[in-house]
Amino acid sequence: MAETNFVDYVKIFCRSGKGGRGSAHFRREKYIPKGGPDGGDGGDGGSIILRGNRNYWTLLHLRYQRHLFAEHGENGSKAQRSGKKGESRVIEVPCGTVAYDAHTGEYLCDITDHDQEVVLLKGGRGGQGNQHFKTATNQAPRYAQPGEPYEERWVILELKLLADVGLVGFPNAGKSTLLSVVSAAKPKIANYPFTTLEPNLGIVSYRDAKSFVMADIPGIIEGASEGKGLGLRFLRHIERNSLLLFVVPADAEDIRKEYEILLNELRQYNPELMDKRHVLAISKSDMLDEELMHEISLDLPEIPYVFISSITGFGIPTLKDLLWQELNSDMVMPMEVTRETLVHRNLDLSQLGFADDETVPEDELSEDDDLWDGDDEFFEIDE
């Protein structure tokens, strides 16, 4: 597939900062020959933090910056001087980003809100200087604590768009056209299948300044769960929508059957998609007259439906009313609750096609790799 700007998957290497070691120094001045211990504490290492940012829509900015390091804490020094704390590395991500361990696929955390912060890797704590170890029986501790080590990990970030309504349909059903008439989004529209190659989001304004978000994803065909067409790769973007709007064109041979094929593909992908609210829009209804509509309506699946035409505008206000009503019905949990109660599945790594290049460039900050290398350091005395 052509190089795209819509990046919803990245694999990155993260390393937090180690803690600086505490100093084991003794005060030595001309007229105070036996000054006590005055070694300062090491600074804490910086952490790797994920932060939600609503101005980001993709993970593109991380594609070319795959190695992220926080700063190490500085060592403590004489005269009770503490080492400087290492700076944390904040990774800005779009809301709807989920982090997994790249080696095990284990779910790590989830960013859903603007400014929400999650510590992905904690920086090492700085060690205490020898000034803390002075006791009644040991007035001159010749040791200090080392800093805690850093943590490192390969992490996969996956973006799941946070929309209220997700459009589901075969290619060429009129999904993008619908999004273009109910929102300001300008998706590509054409009379051939697979026009849409990456998801589009639009904000649908409703009465009295209310609004909801609609996601248009590439068309799904029978066998998508086995990789046909564009596969089910984009279905993750409707996993979190509270409502699925099925779009089936009026000239479909059997509307009920198309709905069932779509349903079956979704079920293969994630059975939880069956628990969402489903609404059916019969698109391109400008091709029908009242009589035909009546006839078709006799054999439709048992879900709320509406006949629409994005070309003439027929049924569009009714559709918006219906969506709004369904989004606010008791059956649909408010988005906040839905997000929090989401079941987090681990990632199936066998389905990912990552080139396994895991070389990590030398971190210029970690050259001084003297961490935990024996007790010697513990007894080291700073002159």
Ligand X SMILES: Nc1nc2c(ncn2[C@@H]2O[C@H](COP(=O)(O)OP(=O)(O)OP(=O)(O)O)[C@@H](O)[C@H]2O)c(=O)[nH]1
Q: Using CB under 6 A as the criterion, which residues of the chain lie in contact with ligand X when the complex forms?
A: 169, 171-177, 189-191, 193-196, 218-219, 283-284, 286-287, 309-311
Q: Can residue 128 be called a binding residue for Mg ion (CB under 5 A)?
A: no
Tell me the closest approach of the beta carbon of residue 199 to Mg ion, in angstroms.
10
Could you say which of 53, 196, 242, 309 contacts Mg ion (CB under 5 A)? 196
Tell me the closest approach of the beta carbon of residue 47 to ligand X, in angstroms.
42
Tokens of 78: 């004489």
Q: Which does residue 286 bind out of ligand X, Mg ion, none, counting CB within 5 to 8 angstroms by kind?
A: ligand X
Q: Rounded CA gap, 160 and 269, in Å?
A: 15
Could you say which of 6, 90, 116, 195 contacts Mg ion (CB under 5 A)? 195
Taking residue 320's Cβ as centre, other Cβ atoms within 10 Å add up to 17
Q: Which residue is nearest to ligand X (CB)?
A: 219
| Phi, psi of 237, rounded to the nearest 5 degrees | -75, -10
Q: Which does residue 137 bind out of ligand X, Mg ion, none, counting CB within 5 to 8 angstroms by kind?
A: none
Of 62, 56, 183, 173, nearest to 114 by C-alpha is: 56
Tell me the closest approach of the beta carbon of residue 192 to Mg ion, in angstroms.
10
Q: Rounded CA gap, 349 and 103, in Å?
A: 8
Cβ-based nearer residue to ligand X, 59 or 247: 247
Q: Which does residue 377 bind out of ligand X, Mg ion, none, counting CB within 5 to 8 angstroms by kind?
A: none
Q: Rounded CA gap, 73 and 85, in Å?
A: 5
Q: Where are the alpha helices (DSSP H) in 202-306?
A: 255-269, 290-297
Q: Can residue 310 be called a binding residue for Mg ion (CB under 5 A)?
A: no
Q: Can residue 80 be called a binding residue for Mg ion (CB under 5 A)?
A: no
Cβ-based nearer residue to ligand X, 289 or 369: 289
Q: Rounded CA gap, 230 and 265, in Å?
A: 13
Tokens of 248: 């089936």
Q: Which does residue 52 bind out of ligand X, Mg ion, none, counting CB within 5 to 8 angstroms by kind?
A: none
DSSP 3-state percent helix, strand, coil across the chain (nearest 5): 25, 20, 55
Tell me the closest approach of the beta carbon of residue 182 to ligand X, in angstroms.
12
| Phi, psi of 97, rounded to the nearest 5 degrees | -90, 135
Cβ-based nearer residue to ligand X, 37 or 174: 174
Cβ-based nearer residue to ligand X, 287 or 333: 287
Q: Rounded CA gap, 12 and 65, in Å?
A: 8
Q: Can residue 283 be called a binding residue for Mg ion (CB under 5 A)?
A: no
Tell me the closest approach of the beta carbon of residue 287 to Mg ion, in angstroms.
19
CB contact set of 51 (below 8 Å; sequence gap of 6+): 90, 91, 92, 93, 111, 115, 116, 117
Tell me the closest approach of the beta carbon of residue 267 to Mg ion, in angstroms.
23
Tell me the closest approach of the beta carbon of residue 257 to ligand X, in angstroms.
18
Report the site for Mg ion in 149-178 (rule: CB under 5 A).
176
Q: Which residues bind Mg ion (CB under 5 A)?
A: 176, 195-196
